A and B are shown apart, each in its own frame.
Chain A
Amino acid sequence: MDATEASAVLARARQGDNDAFRALVEQHSRSAFRLAFRMMGNEQDAEDVVQESFLRAYRQLGRFESRANFGTWLYRIVANCSVDLMRSKQARHDQVRGDSLDDATAAELPDANLAGPDRLAQSAEIDRRVQAALRELSPLERAAFTLRHYEGRSIDEISTALGLGTSAAKHSVFRAVRKLRVALAPLRSLES
């Protein structure tokens, strides 16, 4: 779909043409899913975010400026829907943190001298701990960190995507890195 065609499809979608909106959904679903998965860390939540994001985009199409890029606009919606879902899940499961790093003990840490299948298991364990550390971040910290670390977005872009001031975006990333550094310190000593 070239720029002129994309613009025409977008204009029709804004006028309430569902076929045009369908074309936008079909064009942008995969990229929306990729971002949602990175944000949420699992497929089910990512699918929920994709669906919610398109519903929200549909409702707000009237507010969308036709000169803007739909993909960029949707990217922001996906990022914010992810934050909303993280907040919602966090509120519901605040007391249930099965993988809390607080419960980790030195005895449970992977062994640095393993090889072969055991090494693979260790790698999986490291991944599990990394995921657990990410889950310990606040929704904004996790979103800002994901955009910076995994998506390679600059602080200014993160600030725009999440509707934050530059300083707030920057400090969300800093707090995330600080927390991760503390949480993953035992693993770092093994790696070294």
Chain B
Amino acid sequence: MTEHISEDDLTLYYYGEGRRRDAIERHIDHCADCSTLYREIAGTLAMLTEVEAPERGDQYGAEVWQRLRNKLPDKDARWWTALLRWERLALVGAAAVLVVAAFVAGRVWPHAPESAPGAASNAPLVARGDTGSTAATAAKAESAAGVESRQRILYTSVADHLDRSERMLTDIMNTAGHADISTEQRWASDLLDTSRLYRQDALDAGEQSVAGVLDELERSLLEIVHSPSRISAADLEQMRRRIDAAALLFKVRVMSDELRQREQPPERSRPRTSTQTIS
């Protein structure tokens, strides 16, 4: 063998792979350049010593299951897929009921004076007793409680919706290249319908940040819905990059967590009207 051995062939040789192993061995013995190069490669790789993973005990599997169990989809994918239409109807129906309930509640509950920007901003006034009338104070407190209650319903519903969206997006992010994403597309289509309704609710409730995240989510859902079912690896990669670039998964998780915090009812020791709007 008169030609030098390539670095790639020497790498394969180091790992015990590749062809012409005997010939390479003989060449290294007689060629100073190749021998030096091989020593460099071997020296580098020898520095990368065994990576010992931290030990996990016998209970580790059970711990993983505990963390996992609540995140599993409710049903087996095969018939879960078949039930998508029902889930879609249920989700859209639930959202519609929420919208109607909020509208009716708005009509039925006593209205705050027009000078006040909203029931929530009336809360400090009620807490301070500035209205002068016990009956009016009680009515306002009741009104504020109704608003709080409706807001908590909205927070819970949107947080659930964001959790479902997160699972779907994670699925897309983890799908191998050139895959059939028709299941995810049906899922995204359901979420898209619901998302639009919740975004409108959020806007009506003055929750701009929630509406903003839902708006971004809708754009990604639309892209998923309108992609070919048999998506190419390159298109899938582009889609992932866009989701990544928008940090969408992160925003969805953060918003969901925030709404979960906000959906908690106020503590009994605090006045009902002393919400976060006081500050």
Contacts and interface: CB of A to CB of B under 8 A. Distances in A.
Interface of A: 15-16, 18, 21-22, 25-30, 33-34, 37-38, 41, 43, 46, 50-52, 54-56, 58-62, 80-81, 84, 87-88, 91-92, 126, 130, 134, 148-150, 154-155, 163, 170, 173-174, 177-178, 180-181, 184-185, 187-188, 191-192
Interface stretch (B75-83, B91-99, B123-131): B75-83
Given A25-B61, A92-B244, A149 B174 contact: no
Interface in B21-66: 40-41, 43-45, 47-48, 50-51, 53-54, 56, 60-65
B17 interface: yes
The size bracket of the interface on B is: 35 or more
Contacts of B40: 181, 188
7 contacts: A51-B67, A55-B170, A61-B76, A80-B176, A92-B247, A150-B50, A180-B44
A138 B69 CA distance: 33
Main secondary structure of the interface of A (DSSP, over half): helix
Interface of B: 7-8, 11-12, 15, 17, 40-41, 43-45, 47-48, 50-51, 53-54, 56, 60-65, 67-69, 71-73, 75-79, 167, 170-171, 173-174, 176-177, 240-241, 244-245, 247
Contacts of A91: 241, 244-245
Given A38-B51, A62-B78, A154-B17, A177 B73 contact: no
Quick one: which of B79, B174, B244 has the most chain A CB within 10 A?
B174
B64 A29 contact: yes
Given A58-B73, A88-B244, A130-B47, 9 more contacts: A22-B69, A25-B64, A26-B64, A33-B53, A37-B51, A62-B78, A80-B174, A150-B48, A181-B44
Given A16-B76, A29-B64, A51-B64, A34 B53 contact: yes
B60 A62 contact: no
A56 B64 contact: no
A177 B241 contact: no
A59 B261 CA distance: 29
